[in-house]
């Protein structure tokens, strides 16, 4: 009966793993704005001898949100994308059968066998490529630059009516007119 010995990790490996997790967590928190980062703004102190005026944070936030439509933007580009279809195997099988039958018509004996195999392989390759051509699709990628500076690409299956420079609003992944 064998006995298994378990090896424990060196304490420095554990320390490195914990440090990596902490640094990654701090980085994510800074990017999400949960903790201050280099771009964090601090409140300005009131001048000496003067009281700080009463601030209305909700009114300031509402004014900024009203001025900035988070779903609004401008179309930056519209591109047609041809996507080659995927072969399901039907074209390859059909091509192999046709190629094998045509190859069998050539020669006799061993030459006929070789021609049948070559015809089947060539037919499979050609049939697969033909199927991919038949199944190709066109999609349209519309790049929108939002008012907050973010850029997003929306894909549509049909030719869009949007042109570069159009003001649009993106709601639930769909583009709407925002004139």
58 or 121, which is more confident = 121
Q: Is the pLDDT of residue 60 over 80?
A: no
Q: Are 135 and 86 in contact (CB under 8 A)?
A: yes
State the pLDDT at residue 40.
47
Q: In 3-state terms, what secondary structure has residue 74?
A: strand
Q: Which is more confident, 119 or 147?
A: 147
Pairing label, strands 72-83, 167-171? antiparallel
Tell me the H-state helices in 41-137: 57-67, 90-104, 110-134
Dist. CA 6–CA 12, nearest whole Å = 18
Residue 41 gets the label, from left (phi > 0), alpha (psi -120 to 50) or beta, of: beta
Q: At 98, give phi and psi (nearest 5°).
A: -65, -45
Residues in the chain: 179
pLDDT tens, residue by residue, 17-42 = 888 788 778 777 777 777 765 544 44
Reported as a pLDDT band with limits 50, 70 and 90, residue 43 is very low
Percent of the chain with pLDDT over 90: 4
User: Strands 151-156 and 167-171: what pairing?
Assistant: unpaired
| Per-residue model confidence as pLDDT tens digits over 86-142 | 767 777 777 777 777 777 777 777 777 787 888 778 777 887 777 777 777 888 899
Name the E strands within 84-177: 137-146, 151-156, 167-171, 174-177
7 secondary structure, DSSP code: P
140/155 Cα distance (integer angstroms): 6
pLDDT at residue 108, rounded to an integer:
77
Strand partners, 58: none
The mean of the pLDDT values for the chain is 75
Higher local confidence (pLDDT), 133 or 152: 152
Looking at per-residue pLDDT, the higher value among 47 and 146 belongs to 146
Higher pLDDT, 69 or 142: 142
Indicate the SS3 state at residue 148.
coil
| Reported confidence tier of residue 143, pLDDT bands at 50, 70, 90 | very high
Mean pLDDT within 140-157? 88
Task: Give the closest residue to 82 by CA, choosing from 151, 153, 132.
Answer: 132
| Rounded-to-integer distance, Cα 169 and Cα 179, Å | 9
User: Which range scores top for mean pLDDT: 52-56, 124-128, 150-154?
Assistant: 150-154
């Amino acid at each position: 009966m064998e006995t298994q010995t378990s090896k424990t990790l060196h304490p420095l490996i554990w320390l490195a793993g914990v440090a990596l997790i902490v640094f990654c967590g701090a980085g994510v928190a800074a990017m999400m704005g949960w903790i201050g980062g280099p771009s964090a703004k601090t409140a300005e102190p009131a001048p000496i001898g003067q009281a700080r005026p009463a601030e209305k944070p909700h009114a300031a936030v509402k004014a900024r949100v009203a001025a900035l439509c988070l779903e609004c933007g401008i179309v930056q580009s519209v591109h047609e994308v041809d996507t080659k279809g995927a072969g399901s195997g039907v074209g390859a099988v059909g091509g192999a059968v046709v190629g094998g039958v045509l190859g069998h018509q050539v020669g006799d004996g061993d030459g006929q066998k070789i021609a049948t195999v070559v015809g089947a392989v060539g037919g499979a390759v050609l049939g697969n490529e033909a199927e991919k051509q038949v199944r190709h699709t066109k999609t349209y990628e519309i790049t929108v630059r939002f008012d907050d500076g973010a850029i997003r690409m929306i894909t549509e299956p049909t030719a869009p009516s949007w042109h570069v420079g159009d003001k649009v609003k993106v709601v639930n992944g769909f583009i709407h007119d925002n004139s």
